[in-house]
Every structure is written in C-alpha cells, then in structure tokens.
C-alpha cells in the first residue's frame, strides 16, 4: 500500500523493570527527563501548539526524541518511526523514547515528517494506540474523500490527505 510504514513497539518490560528495581519499591524511579534532537524540536513544539489550539494543555516533562541511523524493518515493512514506553506496575517507567529513522526523515517531504512525528508523539506523549478505521469526509475541494480516521493509523498518511485534512486530524488527535 504505502511504501513505508510506521510501527511502534509499546514495550511492556515488566520483568526488565523488576530486574532493574530488584522489585524493591524503596528504590527511586528514574528521574523524568526531556532530551529532544534540535532538528526534531519544531515538530514537538507544533504538537503542543496544535493541542493548545483545540483547548488541550500538554506539558512535555518526560520524553526523549532522537534519530536512529536505521530502524530496520518488521513484519509491517520498513520502520520509519518508533516509540518505546516501559511500564512497571501499570505506570510508565523511565522515559518514553521516540526514534526517527534518519534516512527516511532526510529523504521525505515535510508533511510526512510531520505526520510521523505526530504519530509517535500520539504513542509516547498521549499513550494512544493504533486506530485502524477509515471514514468518508468532504474536503475543502467539495469532493468526498476516503481517509484514514486518524494519524494513529499504523502507516504513513498520504501527504495530500494530511495537508487537506489537517484540522480534522488535529481535533481527532487531541479529542
């Protein structure tokens, strides 16, 4: 379908966390941290601003966003972005981490960069899961379009759809 795909491994590393903690609740959790690659910072800022535009306040207090030289592939195809979240006893453990495939990012258009970052922040900031449904919607061109109902669809949204239906996708993301 699309040449590239976005996949996410929401890792539930309970046993690892248990190992790290020694299952001793007296040990402190790792401190929250924010570390964002300067090239990717504008997309994080836009995510926060888009949320504010529909009345949702988002404070980025615990997030790592960085490039990976090559994320490889999985069963869905080429992986261009990834979000890793670890949980311990139902709570987020450590710092949610987004990895963006650098060759993809450098070789694609601005709307695809935007939607991949948006998708991964949907996982790593809002803790959203994938959404697989489609909907029919009229665009500003007065034509009915069939589009993925969310940027949380597990593939890269077509740039033309992301652009034409930007307002819809913003409200869907932060509803």
Whichever of 10 and 58 has its CB closer to Zn ion, that residue is 10
**Which residues contribute to the site for Zn ion (CB under 5 A)?**
8
Contacts of 8 (CB under 8 A, 6+ apart): 81, 82, 83, 119, 120, 123, 130, 154
SS3 of 115-136: the string is: HHHHHHHHHHCCCCCCCCCEEE
Q: How far is the CB of 129 from Zn ion (least distance, A)?
A: 8
Q: Which is nearer to Zn ion, 38 or 153 (CB)?
A: 153
Of the candidates 70, 64, 50, 164, the residue with the CA atom closest to the CA atom of residue 118: 50
Which CB atom, from 8 or from 112, has the smaller least distance to Zn ion?
Answer: 8
Q: Nearer to Zn ion by C-beta: 8 or 97?
A: 8
Phi, psi of 56 (to 5 degrees): -115, 125
Q: Whole-number minimum distance, CB 89 to Zn ion, in Å?
A: 24
Tell me how far, at minimum, the Cβ of 19 lies from Zn ion, in Å. Answer: 27
Question: What residue is closest to Zn ion based on CB?
Answer: 8
User: Closest approach of Cβ 101 to Zn ion, in Å?
Assistant: 13
* Residue 105 DSSP SS3: helix
């Amino acid at each position: 379908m699309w040449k590239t795909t976005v996949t996410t491994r929401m890792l539930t590393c309970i046993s690892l966390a248990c190992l790290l903690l020694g299952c001793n609740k007296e040990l402190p959790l790792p401190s929250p941290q924010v570390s964002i690659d300067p090239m990717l910072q504008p997309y994080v800022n836009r995510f926060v601003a888009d949320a504010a535009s529909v009345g949702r306040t988002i404070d980025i207090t615990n997030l790592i966003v960085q490039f990976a030289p090559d994320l490889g592939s999985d069963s869905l195809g080429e992986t261009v972005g990834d979000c890793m979240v670890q949980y311990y006893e139902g709570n987020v453990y450590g710092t949610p981490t987004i990895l963006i495939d650098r060759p993809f990012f450098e070789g694609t258009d601005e709307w695809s960069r935007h939607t991949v970052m948006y998708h991964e922040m949907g996982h790593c900031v809002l803790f959203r899961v994938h959404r697989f449904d489609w909907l029919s919607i009229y665009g500003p061109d007065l034509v009915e379009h069939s589009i993925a109902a969310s940027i949380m669809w597990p593939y890269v949204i077509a740039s033309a759809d992301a652009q034409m239906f930007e307002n819809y996708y913003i409200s869907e993301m932060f509803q």
